[in-house]
Structure 1
Amino acid sequence: MKLKDKVLVVEDEQNISNFISTVLTANDFDVLVAQTGAEAVSMITSHCPDLIILDLGLPDMDGINILKEVRSWSSLPIIVVSARTHEHDKVMALDLGADDYIEKPFGTSELLARIRTAIRHTRTPLDNNEIAQSGKFTVKNLTIDYDKHHVLIGDQDVHLTLNEFKIVALLGKYAGKVLTYDYLIKQIWGPKAKADNQILRVNMANIRRKIEKNPASPEYIFTEIGVGYRMLENDA
């Protein structure tokens, strides 16, 4: 079963929020809605969405402040949707790390295209040509399918949980590089997650039972003791 991408819509205008939610739900996204900046910050850290659609004109704070805060700890895709049309506002948002900026009013097709592009770019670093071209990362007998949210050993789906998939997918994106425990924890569970490696170790033990022939002697994901984990790099 394909896991749905989770989108947080941060928008205080009810009619716009309803419109975006309806469009996304109809196109197989899981949708969360926040109407204030405070709600948005709380939901970002507790629900860890795959993408944020962010209005700047919120009743309790400027959306720019939310953008700054999220970018201080995460690279998750953020699309600004705003009635502000001045070039200064666009440049500021993009310079602060927004992945895209859409002016209101906007069409359904444009919104969906921008969302898919932002998610794809975040999951496919520019230096990983294999993922960028095929949507997949393959090393030896293991394949990570980023579009379908599946991990395969040979042609068999190993049925990872959502968090297990996120861990493997993140390691695959940066195959060959060590990702620290702290980085992985923040990316998967959010910035307020306890800096306790135990939950990560439990997930990794489950992952290895599912993908490794011998979990005690892994061939795909290696432990850099005291530092983090590293995915085997595909040198082909």
Structure 2
Amino acid sequence: MKILIADDDPQILRALRITLRARGYEILTATDGTSALNQAIEHKPDLYLLDLGMPRLDGVEVIAGLRGWTSAPILVLSGRTGSADKVEALDAGADDYVTKPFGVDELLARIRALTRRATAAPGADAEPLVRLGPVTIDLTATTATRDGSPPEPVRLTPTEWRILEILVRNAGRLVTRQSLLREIWGSEHVTDTGYLRLYLSQLRKKLEPDPSAPRYLLTEPGMGYRFDPSGGSA
């Protein structure tokens, strides 16, 4: 199992690296938020241990960047004890939060619990960079650009981003209308399918080479939608 530890304290990094390697884990380390994201994209860790107070990008920004494309468990290790910090990290997408200083036995138990949870609910990670014809989607930076010199930004609303992210993270699989509506607008809107038709139409106009004949954002009649990463070429 591969774990990325991101912390700007060299003593904590060294202690955690020694402790976890002794338990058979493969360890990657980063001392700032930008390096953490770069390591994540290159090595695809199975679990993340993140400090919040890192330079360049703080922990919450790293969590948000990771959650654009990976569902791997994120455990925050932080000296911040305020409930607001915990809520912010968990709302950004962290799975658990441990306050420094912490015991090794507690940390190992939390890692085991997160690993069991991830194994029980497996989900394939999306690639951070996704191509839809001439458009590049960067799920980490939440940007879309159309090929050109220079590349032209494609502006998506927060709701359009959320729909696109869900479809891309489930590439090749049917995502039902009800599950999309529930996740984005809540269970009280599971019958409001007009929302989805409107947003999918807007996404296709912005992203598909030919919106009238979509190749990537497909409708499964009567069921839901599916992202086809091959664009129908397979």
**TM bucket by the smaller chain?**
0.5 to 0.7
Provide the identity percentage.
39
Equivalences for residues 48-87 of structure 1 within 5 A: 48-87=44-83
Equivalences for residues 184-223 of structure 1 within 5 A: 184=124, 187=125, 190-192=127-129
Residues matched between the structures, number? 140
- Tell me the distance in 1 between the aligned counterparts of 2:91 and 2:173: 35
Q: Does 1:89 align with 2:85?
A: yes
Equivalences for residues 151-230 of structure 1 within 5 A: 170=123, 184=124, 187=125, 190-192=127-129
Out of 108, 114, 117, the position equivalent to 1:112 is 108
Write out per-residue CA displacement over residues 68-123 of structure 1, whole angstroms, 9 at most, x where no aligned residue.
11112221100000010001101111122211100001111011110111111122
**Distance apart, 1:223 and its partner CA:** 9.7
Name the residue aligned to 1:23: 19
Name the residue aligned to 1:98: 94
Q: Is the 8 A contact 2:68 2:128 kept in 1?
A: no
- Tell me the distance in 1 between the aligned counterparts of 2:37 and 2:6: 10
Q: Does 1:12 align with 2:8?
A: yes
Out of 21, 31, 37, the position equivalent to 1:41 is 37
- Tell me the distance in 2 between the aligned counterparts of 1:71 and 1:223: 19
2:116 alignment partner AA: R
- Aligned in 2, Cα 1:44/1:15: closer, same or farther, shift over 3 Å? same
- Tell me the distance in 1 between the aligned counterparts of 2:22 and 2:63: 27
Q: State the secondary structure of the residue aligned to 1:81.
A: strand
2:128 alignment partner AA: P
Name the residue aligned to 2:232: none
- Aligned in 2, Cα 1:109/1:223: closer, same or farther, shift over 3 Å? closer
Q: State the secondary structure of the residue aligned to 2:86.
A: helix
Q: Is the 8 A contact 1:45 1:192 kept in 2?
A: no
1:46 alignment partner AA: E
Write out per-residue CA displacement over residues 27-64 of structure 1, whole angstroms, 9 at most, x where no aligned residue.
01000000111110101111000000000111222110
Write out per-residue CA displacement over residues 131-169 of structure 1, whole angstroms, 9 at most, x where no aligned residue.
xxxxxxxxxxxxxxxxxxxxxxxxxxxxxxxxxxxxxx6
1:9 alignment partner AA: I
- Tell me the distance in 2 between the aligned counterparts of 1:16 and 1:223: 41
- Tell me the distance in 1 between the aligned counterparts of 2:71 and 2:91: 13
Q: Is the 8 A contact 1:90 1:101 kept in 2?
A: yes
- Tell me the distance in 2 between the aligned counterparts of 1:48 and 1:85: 29
Q: Is the 8 A contact 2:73 2:95 kept in 1?
A: yes
2:88 alignment partner AA: M
- Tell me the distance in 1 between the aligned counterparts of 2:101 and 2:78: 9
Q: State the secondary structure of the residue aligned to 2:129.
A: coil
Q: Does 1:122 align with 2:59?
A: no
- Aligned in 2, Cα 1:74/1:195: closer, same or farther, shift over 3 Å? farther
Q: Is the 8 A contact 2:5 2:29 kept in 1?
A: yes
**Distance apart, 1:24 and its partner CA:** 0.6
Q: More displaced, 46-55 or 115-124?
A: 115-124
Equivalences for residues 129-168 of structure 1 within 5 A: none
1:28 alignment partner AA: G
1:114 alignment partner AA: R
